[in-house]
Amino acid sequence: MKRFNARGAAVASQTTKDVLDGSLARQVFSEAERATKGWIVRSDGDYLCPKDGDVGFTADLAEAGAFDTEEEAREAGRDHCDPGYVVMRDPR
């Protein structure tokens, strides 16, 4: 069965298989992965490294600590970094 938009043009429909095999599935799974990794803070080439209730710095991304929420990361950046720090999703 063909579907049409408001202008009368045919609209391609996606089957469940198309959604699961295609880019939509990759996008959904990618967003879910990013949501579980947390947030990191970078300042002047170093990363914040929260550990045991304290916050230090490390030059190695592998040692950078992740914050659970973006707001926690921003708060730590305000408290421990000079202006210009960057909060980003953890890419690891």
Domain ranges of the chain: 9-89
Question: For residue 5, is pLDDT > 60?
Answer: no
φ/ψ (deg, to 5) at 85: -65, 160
Predicted confidence at residue 50, as pLDDT, reads 80
Q: What DSSP line would sit under 26-82, residue for residue?
A: HHHHHHHHHHHH-EEEEETTEEEEEETTEEEEES-GGG---BSSHHHHHHHHHHHS-
Q: Compute the average pLDDT of residues 81-87.
A: 95
Q: pLDDT digit string (tens) for 19-76?
A: 556 666 556 555 554 455 899 999 999 999 988 888 899 999 999 999 999 999 999 9
Greatest extent of the chain over all pairs of C-alpha atoms, in Å: 62
pTM for the full predicted model:
0.58
Give the integer Cα–Cα distance in Å for 63 and 34.
18
Predicted confidence at residue 92, as pLDDT, reads 86
